[in-house]
Amino acid sequence: MLEDIRKPSLSKEKAVLVGIYGADTPRWLAEEYLEELELLADTAGAETVEKVLQNRPHPDPTTFVGTGKLRELKSLVSEKNADVLIFDDDLSPTQIRNIEKTVDNKVLDRSGLILDIFASRAKTAAAKTQVELAQLQYLLPRLTRFWTHLSRQTGGIGTKGPGETQIETDRRLIGKRISTLKEKLEKLDRQRTTQRKNREGIDRVSLVGYTNAGKSTLMNALTDTDVLAEDRLFATLDSTVRRLEVEDHEILLSDTVGFIRKLPHNLIESFKSTLDEVRDADILMHVVDASSKLLEDYIDVVNDTLEELEIEGKKMVLVLNKIDRLEPSELIGLKKEYPGAVFVSAARGIGLGKLKERLKSLIEEDYVEFAYDVPMSHYKAVAYLHEVAVIDREHFEGNHVTVEGSVSKAERDRFESILAEIQPVNSQ
């Protein structure tokens, strides 16, 4: 195994944040992005001492910011006594190597920072496995920069071989470990699939949204539970499932990792099994921070991520949260702009009744009425209907019971396929 390249620090590290803006990204938006990067750095345990923005049409392929700006950054890092330089974009191995060589300091890109946060917050076996897999996939193409100490020896003939041999050895070790982790994830995925099968007959609703939108706070408010909810990015990594009663319906409400712009692809890939809670949901509850200036941007990020995960065409309710932070005029404007949304404040319990009504309406959207005349000997069938359907009337006569109500088409078809001999008196 590779020795851990990260050195734990007892004191809070000082960070300088770097971003660029240009035709594709206006300055005001780049500033918002750096504010988000500052939150990420804080979540990782770093104190931001300076934020730097550079106007460039596109990143420099060798140094990202150009050699002149890089020399300025070297001076700034020294002046601020910073421990780490964090870039708000992904850097190539070449860019990282050149930047580190110039500033002679630790350098992190956006993906590296997010992976570090995930590593510190993963609690369950599944999350830890997925994070380690993503870290190794991120590390593999960047191995060479961790062996630069060899070039500082005497140099000349004979000094390059051992370094290259060590790198190749580590590549093989990492490759083997990646295969092991993938096998472990497949096993965990099979276990979760079995657990999900045991939930058949119960409506499933999954919370999705940009990180820090208030999903966990909303889950707590709806289910009266105590899921960890912090005013920090990525407070939740592991999938959490709670039961929610909405009139005649029992719902399994799940919450999982929040989305974020430019989420590392390897992380999306490795977390696909955890996000199966989202994929298998009947309804998606898209939670958005209504008080954010980037509300539209956050909605787009979540929709794009769902598309990348091939999760499309599901019933969805847009929930604009944190309305207690809005001025009345702002709330009126958002209601005009998003007429189909439900407006809530999870922290203050505002609008939760309307949200439950919307969930009930969506659940019953594809319900059909039924009336079955069931022999008493099929009492288990009647019990099954009580679990999955809304029962309006039940009448016993002789050796039969007539059950009337409404149920989803899927549950009706499942019921009729299992008990093909039971013919409905009336079904539409």
Q: What pTM does this model have?
A: 0.75
Q: Which fold has domain 366-427?
A: Alpha-Beta Plaits (3.30.70)
- Reading the chain (428 residues) residue by residue, the pLDDT tens digits are 344 444 444 578 999 999 999 988 899 989 989 999 998 999 888 999 999 999 999 999 999 999 999 999 999 999 999 999 999 999 998 999 999 999 988 999 998 898 888 888 777 777 788 888 888 888 887 765 444 444 444 444 333 444 445 667 777 888 888 889 888 888 877 776 666 555 556 789 999 999 889 998 999 999 987 765 555 556 555 678 889 989 878 899 988 778 888 777 667 766 666 677 788 889 999 999 999 988 999 999 999 888 887 888 899 999 999 999 999 999 999 999 999 999 999 999 999 999 999 999 998 888 889 888 888 777 777 888 887 888 889 988 888 889 898 888 878 887 777 666 545 444 44
Q: What is the pLDDT, as a whole number, of residue 154?
A: 42
Domain limits of the chain?
A: 13-108, 200-363, 366-427
Which residues are CB-contacts of 371 (< 8 A; sequence separation ≥ 6)? Answer: 402, 403, 404, 424, 425, 426, 427
Identify any residues that bridge with 53 across adjacent strands, giving them in sequence order.
19
Helix 93-103 and helix 67-80, axial crossing angle in degrees, nearest 10? 50
Say yes or no: do domains 13-108 and 200-363 share a fold. yes
Q: String of b and e for 53-68 (b: at least 16 CB within 10 Å)?
A: bbebeebbeebbbeee
CB 403 within 8 A of CB 394: yes
Q: What is the pLDDT, as a whole number, of residue 345?
A: 97
Question: CATH code for 200-363?
Answer: 3.40.50.300
CATH C-level class of 13-108: alpha beta
